[in-house]
Structure 1
């Protein structure tokens, strides 16, 4: 078989793989709300993030050490920087903003604009140019996110720097995503890189938790449920699928699927916590679906 035929076969396989990867990514990304909802009833957000990252890293550590290529210090150090950006600064920035009384709805909205930042960065950093149709799809998807978030949106009375922190955290993760995509050599298997990312985050979150007081976990059922959810779904499923997708598909296409996380989060809240569904949520979901479809077809 010629190289050209192999390339065509691989492209066709990826075309059929994408709907499955996108579905898993949306489910995993939106499920973080559920784990945080359970666990944060019993502990501060920083303590929740510490135990989430520590447990994730410790579970992955035996597999990272025994399965895959032997990890070299240079590669580990590089992945630690990605851990600082995509775990500690991204999740920690939003946690600090919420503690500074930035309304949760506003934090969620800024977080959900991540694909827009990635699409903007993908051209100068990666050379991945979006077509006019894809930019139109991006605008439609953003409009859908705004419709979904409108009911819960308020501006609060937090200090000005805290609002800037939410935007900065989102931009840092966007930058980490495109830089991760740009790496042509030195790629680790996902379970090894994710292990390094989470353990790096756990050290930094642990320091922050110690500054606030005790780091012992609350021995309650809700905290345990929250940790299981955050580790297995919001970390292992979401991050693993995200990083794998970045290696297989254009970064703007992967990130566009995240636009669907706000309406799916609303469905989680309705199913598990009996939170009401509104007409605006369904309208926003429909608009977002149209935008994601247009962006993903480029």
Structure 2
């Protein structure tokens, strides 16, 4: 009797393996594309609503969906008040401070590509923060990457002067970066074991209440309920706040954290291309050189971390 596998079984195994390989390859690329679109959607929505009002809509819709999913799927909830508090802090840092800074920067005229470039420094800034706060060792390449990333941002800023109010936009962008980095480090230390559904739902609920208070305080005008605002809000809430973040956690749990780190430095360039295509934002040669330098620097540091 022949012991060779049947042709159909061999073909089926190849097909299953090929599909798994395709999924593993496509998930990081899809994540980068989804993450990059958030800057474009935010830029399109901001003329129709203040930044805190837009964030209230974004976080509120995402919170409703995540809480409904948590209830339907009977996801586990935090068991102690301390765990609830840690999740709330992560939400305030990673969602409220991060996106408030970015949306304020976009509203003050910062191009979507440059906003993405500043947030694209997150791997470098997180590595530095982990070195200072969590006592994680920094390799020599990471120090070079940090310096190269800062030099690249300086080139971009030099190649894209924005006038007298530029310091506000850049300052808000840096504040957004600080919120993302602090939230990432805090979550790594205190919320590593959170359930994705309930943990994200709690973060979004706390974030909604925080930005709602800011919107009522600072933004009295009602949003302009245009098609552009509604479509952008739906995209930001469902695709970015839920889809992109969930995809990131899925890849990490599948052991693809290194792929995320290696591809994350492509976000600024992809966002800049989208900004040119959809928003008419164009960058000069000096700014393009800055993007390239920053991508190389962040990529070098990310591959070093991934290779540990």
Give the TM bin, normalised by the shorter chain: 0.7 to 0.9
- Using the TM superposition, give the Cα deviation of residue 53 of structure 1 relative to its aligned residue in structure 2, in angstroms: 0.6
Partner residue of 1:171 out of 175, 178, 198: 178
What is the correspondence of 1:136-285 to structure 2 with a 5 Å cutoff? 136-154=144-162, 156-157=164-165, 166-183=173-190, 187-212=193-218, 217-244=223-250, 257-276=263-282, 278-280=284-286, 282-285=288-291
Equivalent residue pairs, number:
280
Q: Can you give the 5+ residue segments of structure 1 that lack an aligned partner in the other structure?
A: 1-15
TM-score, normalised relative to structure 2: 0.73
The CA distance in 2 between the partners of 1:176 and 1:252, in whole Å, is 20
- Using the TM superposition, give the Cα deviation of residue 130 of structure 1 relative to its aligned residue in structure 2, in angstroms: 2.8
The CA distance in 2 between the partners of 1:154 and 1:285, in whole Å, is 17
SS in 2 for 1:297: helix
Name 1:38's counterpart in structure 2.
44
Name 2:98's counterpart in structure 1.
90
Name 2:77's counterpart in structure 1.
71
Change (3 A) 1:25 1:291: farther
Who wins on radius of gyration, i.e. which is larger? 2
CA deviation map 1:178-199 (0-9, x unaligned): 12122376x2222322222112
SS in 1 for 2:47: coil
Does the CA-based 8 Å contact 1:25-1:257 persist in structure 2? no
Change (3 A) 1:140 1:212: closer
Deviates more, 1:105-114 or 1:200-209: 105-114
Report the aligned-residue RMSD.
3.7
TM-score, normalised relative to structure 1: 0.75
- Using the TM superposition, give the Cα deviation of residue 247 of structure 1 relative to its aligned residue in structure 2, in angstroms: 6.3
- Using the TM superposition, give the Cα deviation of residue 268 of structure 1 relative to its aligned residue in structure 2, in angstroms: 0.8
